[in-house]
């Protein structure tokens, strides 16, 4: 399971230990106190100064430095500082191989006053490898987080399983996975990958709500380059195989990547931070009146619309480099956190394809799970046609987005900025999927398909195609067909969009909607 | 200063009002601030005028028409269909696609628009068809009035040589000179003495300043003759010499004239337009600091003489070069409304467009020369979408994502034809607006200009406000010691933005730190309440590490109420303000002085970009802990981009200077991109060889950047004949060219030109 390249680290044992002499202490009260102090001190320097220096040399911070930077000053309350591993094979029982706290720092703290549980794997102790004790510590804080309903943040920096512990280590992983699953949808879970994370270990981040990475120093893969080489004879670097770039732009495994440890932790604080601000809710946005080009084939940037509408132009985009034809992320409207989903006309005309459907669906489900209202901006020409998509299962994957929007019971507000064609119109949080408020801009066109294609079908074999096309455009390339049927609630001036959304969110704050009771739904995975 | 005391909500209300009633408000501003003459509504005038122009000047003309009760027709290209001028006019007619040659210069389409709308007169604005005698003739043929001089005057003044001859005949000072064969050095000395020193000697055939010698006395003249005649013979095979009066440190000063069709003409004082870059004016003022009333009168009278000599009617401008001894020489006459006319309007109280319309209708001038006052001082800054750090201004393009004009200040006039959301495209002039301030004295007008520039919010395009603000606060400009060489003299190594002094640096650091703390404290609150009621008393003392440029500073900040006291570099700075994080403007009180800063961006990593004193500065603010840990972070080496040639903007490739197999040296020109009326030469960043191999024909090469919309142009045969392909994708131009081993790609999103180095 674990990549041999990383597991090797765990057998290079430290040469010195502050605890070498611990067995000579008596049980008298005074010496217990001394032992406590000594253990605490030892816990604070983890694998020792030499390894800390090595960690710094790699451009990485230590587990404790990370926690300190992530949390509000003096807010960290540590648990299980005295836990040690229980392995007695391969000389592991020796005192010099025991480290108080083992290879992970766990506890709780606050980010801008908000309670959060956190674990931070310590690469300086056995390469951050996961022992039974290590797993037990993580499980403990996850259980506590679930009891009180606080988010869990994992700072991953681990070489993999503790090979000396064998199946106990594997059991530890499974214990964590189970808790990840149980906590899913109950408390937000965030993983920040700050070093290697290989083998089975990758599934814990994969099960959490958001996975962030640090560029150049973090890797996520099932098997490392050495194993890849020996199995498939493929030459690949760590960075190419599972670096931040790969996972944020190609595989879609990670949701964001940051330049280095410090920036990653500061941005993680920001991510937690969708809070109050003073941007007036009745602000008009005149620039929106001209944003949609007259030619319906011309692109514009959906991010321009989103940034102009949300508070302080602040938009935390999730997966900005993956499936760019759909934009998802968090913002605030009048101080309240909202999730935003928008088709991006600038990329592939904003069509829905496999990757964008999955990206959108996962985000919508996160928002629904944590009661975050969803605002959807629609400019979608339809699903992407072609064999690549059909063979890849666009039907199955597109259904996920449809499922997610339909199932969501949080406030749902939809704005059709331009095209809403075909099945994609239905999918994109339409009125029919229990949209609470659906608006159309004057530039909206709601139809089964574009004029050219429609006319070719309706008037097949007829000569006056151009004339028919003009008639079709006149009839359907405007918001009226949807508005007269009540499928959009109103046609609004773009500049008033922010004001309207803010007012609707106020009203919808008390929205109550429940789906029929079920064990769980069967989303088409 | 009024702006600082306004509450943020009122502030926004003002903006909202501005947008809600754009037209009425702008007109109101005009009447109040600029024009003292009262329009007589009983005077019969045109019923409908077509404005054959776009942008700010079209809007400017429409405003006066509205005041006079005249209906207006705007013409526009297809990309301009939602432009401000098209929306302001009573009627708007599309005259063609984006390129000016097909729309604003398309006489057929404009004539059609005149016929269909029944416009009785045409105002041409400036540029485009304003000095086109063919257009004036065609209008006359259809009985439509051209609001400008008649064709005779346009023609006479349009020709550089003819205009000088006419000027000479009208007893207007022209640059004295001699052009012909000079046999001996003594003959040259005699000519030089006739002209008066200093003189400039050069070969007639040599262009520009090449081989030019300046002589201040007889001896230097002899020497100059020897060199120049040798050079003329050897280099050009043409031994004619040009000896001309040399004008040292010339100033560009122009006289506004106004004439009617009944032989009356007035001069409306001067405008000083010496601050120029690449012969384009940047800052203008009226009156000039340099002229005394005697010189002013002499220049004015000569300008009127010239206008009368060509039977000029309407508004026009006579340009002069003025040397350091106040000798002035005729340069040329512009037979149209000038860009910088608002400053003349400010000091004289006349509405020049109104006067042009009256004159065109055949009325006599209302004013006499003695009625023309100089009231106060007016300064105009041309705000351009361009990067001032590159040769004082290289055009930039983009969409104005946020845009607020400083109209909340009094005595400010902004002539613009754009609004929030407008596009600055490659097709037209990159001017954003003309920002005019006015005051009883020059220093008042200058102070107001500083405020106005600080309050001007422009986001989405690079703009030249940093340069404008530096110019108007430069000691040489303030003392009036300027010439057309001002920019190259003051910034010999190019413009580098505002240079901070120790105290302004402290102020900037303190403001950034205070803004950072404000944002941090805000994050601890949720809907007005502290997140955790049990948390200890609010912290009010911080230690921060702030990086600016290469330097790092440790700051100690103490907060009490809205006031931050910041200790930085041994000094103490007190910063207070409203701290509205949603507003682009940041009105602060720094050490009890009001300062307007702008927050351009702010991110979670502590990077804050502030606009202070016109220039934007990037600051990084970190807590002491984060700064300490940050020292462990590795420096990342930026990607090697030396094999990539980046076009500064999307445009058309007009020439390729390298043949296959050629080796280019560092700095050698590779190709020329034309955009925004400018040709930009792209040079190699390192030595490279152009590949000899051709890509197989018919195989489109796609790159990730161009997605599916790449259109391949066929290989082109000659360097002078590039083929272009254009798509409508992204509202951008995408030219994709492939030829003989080079891959060039210019697209609207990232402006890349890839140069395959081998």
Angular region, B681: left φ>0, alpha ψ -120 to 50, beta rest:
beta
Do the Cβ atoms of B625 and A277 come within 8 Å? Answer: no
Do the Cβ atoms of B636 and A259 come within 8 Å? Answer: yes
- What is the separation of C-alpha B428 from the centre of its chain, rounded to a whole number of angstroms? 12
**CA distances from residue A398 to A256, A322, B546 in whole angstroms, order as listed:** 23, 16, 48
- Residues of chain B found within 8 Å of residue A110, distances taken between Cβ atoms: 531-532, 535
Query: Which residue intervals of chain A bear CATH 3.90.226.10?
Result: 43-272, 286-444+488-509
B336 is known as an active-site residue: yes
Do the Cβ atoms of A277 and B582 come within 8 Å? Answer: yes
Distance from CA of A97 to the nearest CA of B (A): 28
Q: Worst-scoring range by mean pLDDT, A131-135, A368-372, A468-472, B24-28?
A: B24-28
- What is the separation of C-alpha B680 from the centre of its chain, rounded to a whole number of angstroms? 18
Residue B728 pLDDT > 90, yes or no? no
User: From CA A504, how far away is CA A514, in angstroms rounded?
Assistant: 20
For residue A13, what pLDDT band results from cuts at 50, 70 and 90?
Answer: very low
User: From CA A84, how far away is CA A19, in angstroms rounded?
Assistant: 12
| Nearest beta carbon to residue B582 from set A110, A278, A308 | A278
Tracing tokens 């259109």 back to the chain, one arrives at B711
Alpha-carbon torsion (B425, B428, B429, B434), positive or negative: negative
User: In a 3-state reduction of DSSP, which class is residue A369?
Assistant: helix
User: From CA A172, how far away is CA A79, in angstroms rounded?
Assistant: 18
- Residues of chain B found within 8 Å of residue A289, distances taken between Cβ atoms: 421
- Residues of chain A found within 8 Å of residue B729, distances taken between Cβ atoms: 298-299
Convert the pLDDT of each residue in A214-237 to its tens digit: 999 999 998 889 888 888 888 899
Convert the pLDDT of each residue in A281-331 to its tens digit: 778 888 888 888 877 778 889 999 999 999 888 899 999 999 999 999 999
Residue B739 pLDDT > 60, yes or no? no
- Residues of chain B found within 8 Å of residue A388, distances taken between Cβ atoms: none
Q: Worst-scoring range by mean pLDDT, A11-20, A451-460, B415-424?
A: A11-20
Do the Cβ atoms of A260 and B420 come within 8 Å? Answer: no
* Mean pLDDT rounded to a whole number for chain A: 88
Residue A315: predicted pLDDT: 93
For residue B672, what pLDDT band results from cuts at 50, 70 and 90?
Answer: confident
Angular region, A374: left φ>0, alpha ψ -120 to 50, beta rest:
beta
User: From CA A349, how far away is CA A382, in angstroms rounded?
Assistant: 9
Q: B749: nearest CA in chain A?
A: A346
CATH class of A286-444+488-509: alpha beta
Angular region, B707: left φ>0, alpha ψ -120 to 50, beta rest:
left
Do the Cβ atoms of B728 and A298 come within 8 Å? Answer: yes
Global pTM? 0.81
Residues 305-364 of chain A whose Cβ lies under 8 A from any Cβ of chain B: 307-308, 311-312, 335-336, 346-348
Residue B390 pLDDT > 90, yes or no? no
Distance from CA of B417 to the nearest CA of A (A): 14
Catalytic residue among B54, B271, B296, B336: B336
For residue A92, what pLDDT band results from cuts at 50, 70 and 90?
Answer: confident
Q: Average pLDDT in the A178-196 region? A: 94
- Residues of chain B found within 8 Å of residue A263, distances taken between Cβ atoms: 604-605
* Mean pLDDT rounded to a whole number for chain B: 81
For residue A29, what pLDDT band results from cuts at 50, 70 and 90?
Answer: low
Convert the pLDDT of each residue in A417-464 to its tens digit: 999 998 999 999 999 999 999 999 999 999 888 777 788 788 877 777
What is the DSSP code (8-state) at residue B104? T
Residue B361: predicted pLDDT: 94
| Nearest beta carbon to residue A280 from set B12, B603, B634 | B12
Return the higher-pLDDT residue of A401 and B182: A401
Matching CATH number, A43-272, of 2.30.130.10, 3.40.50.2000, 3.90.226.10, 1.10.3370.10 = 3.90.226.10
Q: Which residues of A are catalytic?
A: 199-200, 423-424
Do the Cβ atoms of B605 and A267 come within 8 Å? Answer: yes
Domains along the sequence of chain B with CATH? 48-147 (3.40.50.20), 149-175+250-375 (3.30.470.20), 178-245 (3.30.1490.20), 384-490 (3.30.470.20), 502-521+539-631 (3.30.700.30), 644-697 (2.40.50.100)
Residue B668 pLDDT > 80, yes or no? no
Q: Average pLDDT in the B81-98 region? A: 93
Residue B724: predicted pLDDT: 35
Distance from CA of A255 to the nearest CA of B (A): 17
Residue B329 pLDDT > 60, yes or no? yes
Convert the pLDDT of each residue in A238-281 to its tens digit: 989 999 999 999 999 999 999 999 999 999 998 887 644 456 77
Residue B278: predicted pLDDT: 79
**Is A269 an interface residue toward B (CB < 8 Å)?**
yes
Q: A215-250: b or e for each residue (b if 16 or more CB lie within 10 Å)? A: bbbbbbbbbbbebbeeeeeeeeebeebbbbbbbbbe
The answer to whether the CB of A429 falls within 8 A of the CB of A376 is yes
For residue B252, what pLDDT band results from cuts at 50, 70 and 90?
Answer: very high
Residue A272: predicted pLDDT: 82
User: In a 3-state reduction of DSSP, which class is residue B613?
Assistant: coil
Of the CA atoms within 13 Å of residue A79, those in its CB half-sphere come to: 19
Distance from CA of A165 to the nearest CA of B (A): 33
Interface probe with B: pick from A72, A274, A278, A307, most Cβ of B within 10 Å: A278
Portion of chain B with pLDDT greater than 70, in percent? 78
Do the Cβ atoms of A113 and B532 come within 8 Å? Answer: yes
Q: Worst-scoring range by mean pLDDT, A22-31, B169-178, B680-689?
A: A22-31
| Separate counts of helices (H) and strands (E) for chain B | 20, 42
Residue B261 pLDDT > 50, yes or no? yes
Residue B34: predicted pLDDT: 56
Distance from CA of B104 to the nearest CA of A (A): 20
The gap between the terminal CA atoms of chain A, to the nearest Å, is 25
Do the Cβ atoms of A261 and B731 come within 8 Å? Answer: no
By DSSP bridging, strand B398-399 and strand B423-424 are antiparallel
Residue B640: predicted pLDDT: 62
User: From CA B60, how far away is CA B414, in angstroms rounded?
Assistant: 10
């Amino acid at each position: 399971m674990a990549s041999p390249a990383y597991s090797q680290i765990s057998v290079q044992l430290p040469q010195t230990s502050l605890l070498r002499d611990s067995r000579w202490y008596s049980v008298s009260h005074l010496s217990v106190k001394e032992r406590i102090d000594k253990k605490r001190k030892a816990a604070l320097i983890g694998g020792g100064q030499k390894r800390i220096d090595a960690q710094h040399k790699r451009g990485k911070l230590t587990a404790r430095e990370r926690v300190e930077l992530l949390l509000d000053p003096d807010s960290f309350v540590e648990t299980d500082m005295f836990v040690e591993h229980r392995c007695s094979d391969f000389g592991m029982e020796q005192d010099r191989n025991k480290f108080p706290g083992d290879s992970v720092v766990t506890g709780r703290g606050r980010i801008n006053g908000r309670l959060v549980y956190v674990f931070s794997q310590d690469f300086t102790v056995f390469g951050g490898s996961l022992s039974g004790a290590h797993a037990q510590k993580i499980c403990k804080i996850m259980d506590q987080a679930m009891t009180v309903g606080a988010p869990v943040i994992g700072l991953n920096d681990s070489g993999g399983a503790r090979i000396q512990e064998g199946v106990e280590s594997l059991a530890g992983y499974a214990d964590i996975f189970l808790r990840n699953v149980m906590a899913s949808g109950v408390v937000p879970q965030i993983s920040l990958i700050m070093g290697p994370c290989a083998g089975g270990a990758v599934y814990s981040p994969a099960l959490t709500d958001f996975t962030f990475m640090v560029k150049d120093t973090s890797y996520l893969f099932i098997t490392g380059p050495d194993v890849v080489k020996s199995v498939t004879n493929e030459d690949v670097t760590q960075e190419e195989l599972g670096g931040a770039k790969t996972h944020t732009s190609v595989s879609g495994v990670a949701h964001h990547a940051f330049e280095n440890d410090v920036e990653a932790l500061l941005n993680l604080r920001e991510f937690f931070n969708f809070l109050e601000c003073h941007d007036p809710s009745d602000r008009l946005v005149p620039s929106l009146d001209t944003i949609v080009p007259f030619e319906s084939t011309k692109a514009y940037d959906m991010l321009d619309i989103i940034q102009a509408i949300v508070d302080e132009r602040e938009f935390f985009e999730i997966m900005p480099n993956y499936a760019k034809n759909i934009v998802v992320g968090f913002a605030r409207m009048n101080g309240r956190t909202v999730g935003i989903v928008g088709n991006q006309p600038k990329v592939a005309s904003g069509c829905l394809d496999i990757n964008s459907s999955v990206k959108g669906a996962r985000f919508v489900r996160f928002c629904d799970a944590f009661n975050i209202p969803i605002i959807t901006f629609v400019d979608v020409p339809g699903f992407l046609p072609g064999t690549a998509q059909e063979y890849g299962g666009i039907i199955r994957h597109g259904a996920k987005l449809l499922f997610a929007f339909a199932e969501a019971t949080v406030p749902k507000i939809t704005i059709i900025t331009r095209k809403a064609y075909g099945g994609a119109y239905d999918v994109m949080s339409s009125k029919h999927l229990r949209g609470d408020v659906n608006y159309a801009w004057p530039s909206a066109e709601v139809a089964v398909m574009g004029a050219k294609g429609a006319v070719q079908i309706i008037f097949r074999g007829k000569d006056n195609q151009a004339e028919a096309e003009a008639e079709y455009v006149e009839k359907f390339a405007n918001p009226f067909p949807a508005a007269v049927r009540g499928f959009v609630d109103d046609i609004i001036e773009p500049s008033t969009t922010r004001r309207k959304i803010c007012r609707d969110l106020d009203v919808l704050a008390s929205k109550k909607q429940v789906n029929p009771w079920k064990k769980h739904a069967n989303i088409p995975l | 200063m009024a702006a600082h005391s306004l509450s943020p909500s009122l502030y926004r209300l003002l903006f909202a009002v501005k947008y809600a009633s754009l037209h009425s408000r702008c007109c109101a501003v005009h009447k109040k601030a600029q024009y003292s003459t009262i329009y007589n509504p009983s005077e019969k005038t045109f019923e409908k005028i077509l404005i054959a122009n776009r942008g700010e000047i079209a809007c400017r003309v429409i405003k006066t028409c509205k005041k006079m009760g005249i209906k207006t027709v705007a013409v526009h290209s297809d990309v301009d269909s939602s432009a401000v001028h098209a929306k302001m006019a009573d009627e708007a007619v599309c005259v063609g696609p984006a390129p000016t040659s097909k729309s604003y210069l398309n006489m057929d389409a404009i004539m059609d628009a005149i016929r269909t709308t029944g416009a009785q007169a045409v105002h041409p604005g400036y540029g485009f068809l304003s000095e086109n005698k063919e257009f004036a003739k065609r209008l006359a043929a259809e009985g439509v009035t051209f609001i400008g001089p008649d064709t005779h005057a346009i023609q006479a003044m349009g020709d550089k040589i003819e205009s000088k001859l006419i000027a000479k005949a009208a007893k207007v000072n022209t640059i004295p000179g001699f052009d012909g064969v000079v046999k001996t050095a003594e003959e040259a000395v005699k000519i030089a003495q006739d002209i008066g020193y200093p003189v400039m000697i050069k070969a007639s055939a040599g262009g520009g300043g090449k081989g030019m010698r300046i002589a201040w006395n007889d001896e230097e003249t002899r020497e100059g003759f020897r060199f120049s005649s040798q050079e003329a013979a050897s280099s050009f095979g043409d031994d004619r010499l040009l000896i001309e009066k040399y004008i040292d440190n010339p100033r560009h000063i122009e006289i506004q004239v106004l004439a009617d069709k009944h032989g009356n003409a007035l001069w409306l004082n001067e405008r000083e337009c010496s601050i120029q870059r690449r012969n384009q004016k940047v800052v203008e003022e009226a009156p000039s600091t340099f002229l005394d009333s005697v010189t002013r009168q002499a220049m004015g009278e000569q300008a009127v003489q010239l206008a009368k000599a060509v039977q000029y009617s309407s508004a026009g401008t006579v340009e002069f070069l003025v040397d350091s001894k106040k000798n002035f020489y005729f340069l040329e006459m512009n037979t149209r409304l000038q860009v910088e006319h608002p400053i003349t309007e400010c000091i004289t109280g006349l509405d020049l467009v109104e006067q042009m319309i009256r004159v065109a209708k055949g009325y006599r001038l209302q004013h006499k020369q003695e009625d023309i006052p100089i009231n106060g001082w007016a300064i105009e800054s041309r705000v351009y979408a361009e990067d001032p750090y590159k040769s004082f201004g290289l055009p930039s393009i983009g969409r104005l994502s946020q845009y607020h004009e400083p109209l909340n200040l009094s005595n400010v006039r902004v002539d613009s034809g754009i609004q929030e959301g407008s596009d600055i495209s490659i097709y037209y002039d990159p001017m954003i607006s003309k920002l005019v301030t006015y005051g009883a004295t020059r220093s008042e007008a200058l102070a107001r200009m500083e405020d106005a520039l600080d309050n001007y919010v422009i986001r989405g395009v690079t703009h030249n406000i940093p340069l404008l603000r530096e110019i108007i606060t430069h000691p040489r400009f303030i003392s009036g010691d300027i010439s057309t060489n001002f920019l190259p003299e003051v910034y010999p190594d190019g413009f580098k933005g505002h240079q901070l002094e120790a105290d302004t640096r402290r102020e900037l650091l303190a403001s950034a730190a205070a803004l950072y703390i404000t944002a941090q404290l805000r994050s601890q609150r949720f809907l007005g309440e502290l997140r955790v009621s049990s948390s200890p008393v609010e912290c009010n003392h911080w230690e921060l590490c702030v990086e600016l440029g290469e330097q790092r500073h440790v700051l100690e900040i103490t907060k009490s109420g809205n006031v931050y006291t910041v200790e930085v570099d041994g000094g103490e700075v007190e910063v207070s303000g409203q701290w509205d994080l949603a507003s682009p403007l940041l009105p602060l009180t720094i050490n009890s002085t009001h300062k307007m800063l702008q927050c351009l961006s702010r991110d979670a990593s502590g990077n804050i970009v502030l606009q202070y004193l016109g220039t934007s500065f990037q600051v990084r603010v970190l807590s002491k802990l984060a700064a300490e840990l940050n020292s462990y972070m590795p420096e990342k080496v930026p990607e090697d981009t030396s094999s990539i040639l980046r076009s500064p903007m999307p445009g058309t490739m007009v020439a390729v200077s390298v043949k296959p197999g050629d080796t280019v040296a560092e700095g050698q020109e590779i190709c020329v991109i034309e955009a925004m009326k400018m040709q930009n030469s792209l040079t190699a960043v390192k030595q490279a060889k152009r590949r000899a191999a051709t890509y197989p024909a018919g195989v489109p090469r796609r790159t990730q950047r161009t997605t599916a919309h790449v259109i391949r142009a066929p290989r082109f045969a000659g360097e002078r004949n590039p083929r272009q392909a254009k798509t409508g994708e992204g509202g951008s131009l995408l030219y994709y060219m492939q030829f003989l081993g080079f891959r060039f790609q210019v697209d609207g999103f990232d402006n890349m030109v890839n140069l395959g180095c081998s």
